[in-house]
Structure 1
Amino acid sequence: MSDTTGALLVSLQLTDSAFPSGFYTLSHSLEGFAQARAVTAESMPELLVDLLRHTVGPSDATALVLAHRAVCAEDWDAVAEVDRRLHAAKLNRELRLASTRTGRQLLDLAGTVVGGPVVQRYAALVAAGTAPGVQAAVAGVVYAACGVDARQAAVGDLYAFAASFVGAALRLRLTDHVRAQVVLRAVAPVIEEVAALALDAELADLGGCVPVADAMSGRHERAEARLFMT
């Protein structure tokens, strides 16, 4: 198997909805919007685009690229700093907890599925408390360990977010299976745009800003009944 084919297969495996990373437990604030009656079937795709452009891209995708870059440079201090910065950028307790739970789940899976010294080295940093193990930073490390280039890694993880979001919309009855696929196809240019910005970003650029989504996440954390972790 060629290196290119191997990297592509790894990327497909990590972004597959069947990969048990814990993404299926997250609505990415969508349930909070639904509980507040602040989203409809018609506005759901617009909310996804806003989150990609203003939260996931500037924070998670940027952290993924920076962590990937630091691993390739064998700069483990930089890897840990990216992870800590992303953790600090998650303003809500619910978001921080969910991102570290899914990140550590991904890291544990990578230790079994991927293995190797890079994953082991990062796992040791997380175990020591030097790095919190936020999902996007972990993904950057794992993609780098598998030889997936930064652009493909960023695009793949952004797609995984979008697929998880529309999957939550399905369970919240904000879409159907066919329209969900239409939405995923429609956001492809946005994913490409956001990934390109992340590839040019530096550590000082890391951080998103969607105050309404933060408020909805805070509201969701105190909800009496919840289908999702976020």
Structure 2
Amino acid sequence: MVRLGRLLQFSDSTLPVGAFAFSNGLESALQTEVVTDPASLREYVELILRQSARMDGIAFLHAHRAAMNGDHDAILVADRAIWCRRVGEEQQLMLARMGKKLAELALKIGPFPRLERWLGDIKSGATPGCFPVGQAIALAELGAPESEAFVVHQYGVASMILSAAVRLMRIDHLDTQRILFAAQDRVADDYHAVRALGLDEMAVFAPIFDVLVAHHTTTRVRLFMN
């Protein structure tokens, strides 16, 4: 029961790690009319969840396993694997800023020795400090099995986008909750699709998302950092 309560805390959208400052491309998706209504927003969320599972999710699982096994070097390998595959300065900014914030927060509220060592590597410049890796370490230290930890990771991705949607478009909390509820249907399929993949198999074909990321770096009016 304690573990479940703490997993809920670390999956809460109000966890102060800076997620409120990022829209995961949604702001540009709205400006370019890729997303225009609740139906297209749901499609966008599902696209990002699929991308997340096949990119960050693979490194997340490797980092979680490494943390459970006490293999710090393997954690750093997973961290660098995400960093070098993320397209765009803003995407890297999101990963690094949220990763460091998560580690600092966790160390303020409880003992997380592996996370403390990882934060030291971030501060020394030995590793970039990507959020999914920090999240994987924290959840491993809380005793979460990898399947549950993967659910927390994917839930956070969807929650970030939908939180931004409420501030960016004409949509109410009922619609966003319906989308979030429906989005959970795919999490088991995504987990089973990637759980046996290696870090060198991290890949996704999502050219629309890549264009949206590039668009956001040059837009003149924006509320979010990506």
Normalising by the smaller structure, the TM-score range is: over 0.9
Change (3 A) 1:116 1:163: closer
- 1:153 aligns with 149
The equivalent residue for 1:47 is 44
How far apart, in 2, do the equivalents of 1:191 and 1:149 lie? Answer: 15
Q: Any residues of structure 2 matched to 1:8-157 within 5 Å, and which?
A: 8-41=4-37, 42-53=39-50, 55-157=51-153
- In the alignment, is the contact (CA less than 8 A) between 1:150 and 1:199 conserved in 2? no
- CA shift in 2, pair 1:107/1:209, >3 Å: farther
Cα deviation code 1:192-227 (max 9, x no counterpart): 221233322221222333111111111111111111
Pair 1:187-2:179 in alignment: no
Give deviations 1:126-156, integer Å, cap 9, x for gaps: 2222211011011011111111111111101
The unaligned stretches of length 5 or more in structure 2 are none
* Overall identity of the aligned pairs, in %: 28
Query: What SS does the aligned partner of 2:159 have?
Result: helix
Q: Distance in 2 between matches of 1:223 and 1:117?
A: 41
Q: Residue 103 of structure 1: CA displacement?
A: 0.8
| 1:22, distance to aligned residue in structure 2 (A) | 1.0
Q: TM-score, normalised by structure 1?
A: 0.93
CA spacing shift, 1:77–1:146, aligned 2, 3 Å:
same
Q: Is the 8 A contact 2:166 2:173 kept in 1?
A: yes
SS at match of 1:7: helix
- Tell which deviates more after alignment, 41-50 or 107-116: 107-116
Moved more, 38-47 or 114-123: 114-123
* 8 Å Cα contact 1:60/1:86 also seen in 2: yes
Aligned length: 225
For the residue of structure 1 that corresponds to 2:216, the secondary structure is: helix
Query: For the aligned residues, what is the CA RMSD?
Result: 1.3
Shift in Å, 1:71: 1.1
Offset at 1:174? 4.5
